[in-house]
Amino acid sequence: MTAEARLRETMCRLAESLYLRGLTHGSTGNISARCEDGGLLVSPTGTSFGRLDPARLARFDAEGRHLGGDRPTKEMPLHAAFYETRSTAGAVVHLHSCHSVALSLLEDPGEDFLPPHTPYAIMLLGRVPLLPFFLPGDPAMGAAVRGLAGKRSAVMLANHGPVVAGRDVEAACNAIEELEATARLALLTRGLSPRALTGGQVRDVVDRFDVEWDA
């Protein structure tokens, strides 16, 4: 099996896992990954994470030309913005996960969408900014990500869902699962005066695990 064939299988397997555990639903969500030649594999538009076909993933070359497969997700500008601004991005995942979307409906959290309840969200995601609401597929989402100048690996689209870039597709999926779990924890403890990590503890995590934080 070629490296690209393995990547296709991995993308579909991980997408199905996310779907079966309720982290996205219906035909929502999209996933992409960088190929060895610099091109991209992208989930098609209007498809379910639970039923992706490896052979039908959209294939792009390194110059962004569509070489084959089905028509890609309408959120391509969002994916492209991460690849263009983060040289370490090997995959991008976007979900409509329930708890993170619910948390985005509440008041503006300021600089950080996720509260510092555990070290793992800090380690895997760094700071996660909450971006404004955009119509699905609006190229302005890509412009908003480019405005971050590659300093953030994850964003939360208000009233829409999280987007995470990772070094590879498994890392991106792990990180977006951590984002959703942290949002769920924030909702479960809301109004209960939870004991979050202190500023010093956050700094210890940032320094120990070399997290992008202050950029």
Q: What angle do CA 99, 150, 158 make, to 5 degrees?
A: 25
Closest of 187, 45, 46, 23 to residue 117, by C-alpha: 187
SS3 204: helix
Dig out the tokens for 25 from the structure: 């639903």
The answer to whether 57 touches 69, Cβ cutoff 8 Å, is yes
E strand or H helix at 156: strand 154-157
Catalytic residue among 75, 177, 178, 180: 75
Catalytic residue among 4, 16, 120, 212: 120
Is 83 marked active-site? no
Euclidean distance between CA atoms 128 and 112, whole angstroms: 6
**Cα distances (Å, whole numbers) of residue 167 to 28, 90, 172, 175:** 23, 5, 7, 11
Dig out the tokens for 203 from the structure: 């700094």
Is 63 marked active-site? no
Report the catalytic residues. 75, 120
